[in-house]
């Protein structure tokens, strides 16, 4: 049974991107239960851009690297259409909406306002945690 690294190499070699048969870097399959979907998509898009993969192959690679659970989920979300009938952006948006539903604004603001700095937490760690928590609070200002 090939390991995760081997399966991602097989995918990239089979697609034969660019003028070469090999890609720069490696991309692992999405593990729905373990991976942060948004971070995985960012890495996938970096990988695709670095290797100059065209739109059609990008969609094929995306569907392949979703793994069994991810592909089953995207098939269910696309029904009655087939995943190949949708664009990469539509597939990505469907999965994102399902995996990361929009949080409740009131709940997120409550959590933000209730957050206290822990005794063993540095100011940088606390500030970083607040920045992350504020993502869905829709405050008028932006962090730099």
Distance in angstroms between the alpha carbons of the first and the last residue of the chain: 46
Q: Rounded to an integer, what distance in angstroms lies between the CA atom of residue 102 and that of residue 79?
A: 22
pLDDT at residue number 141: 62
pTM of the model: 0.62
Q: Give residue-wise pLDDT tens across range 30-51.
A: 998 899 999 999 999 999 999 9
How many CB atoms within 10 Å of residue 134?
17
pLDDT at residue number 95: 94
Q: Give residue-wise pLDDT tens across range 118-129.
A: 999 999 999 999
pLDDT at residue number 112: 92
**Alpha helix ranges (H) inside 1-144:** 4-15, 37-50, 55-65, 67-78, 88-99, 105-114, 123-133
Decide if 72 contacts 15 (C-beta within 8 A): no
pLDDT at residue number 88: 95
CA angle 28/43/80 to nearest 5° reads: 75
pLDDT at residue number 22: 74
- What residue ranges of the chain have pLDDT lower than 70? 1-21, 141-144
Q: Rounded to an integer, what distance in angstroms lies between the CA atom of residue 135 and that of residue 142?
A: 10
């Amino acid at each position: 049974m090939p390991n995760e690294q081997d399966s991602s190499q097989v995918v990239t070699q089979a697609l034969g991107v660019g003028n070469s048969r090999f890609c720069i870097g490696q991309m692992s399959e999405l593990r729905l239960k373990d991976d942060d979907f948004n971070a995985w998509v960012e890495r996938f898009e970096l990988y695709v851009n670095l290797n100059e993969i065209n739109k059609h192959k990008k969609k094929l690679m995306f569907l392949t690297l979703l793994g069994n659970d991810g592909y089953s989920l995207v098939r269910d979300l696309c029904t009655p259409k087939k995943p190949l009938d949708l664009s990469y952006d539509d597939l990505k948006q469907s999965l994102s909406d399902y995996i990361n539903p929009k949080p409740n604004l009131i709940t997120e603001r409550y959590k933000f306002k209730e957050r206290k700095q822990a005794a063993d937490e540095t100011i940088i760690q606390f500030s970083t945690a607040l920045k992350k928590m504020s993502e869905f609070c829709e405050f008028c200002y932006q962090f730099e």
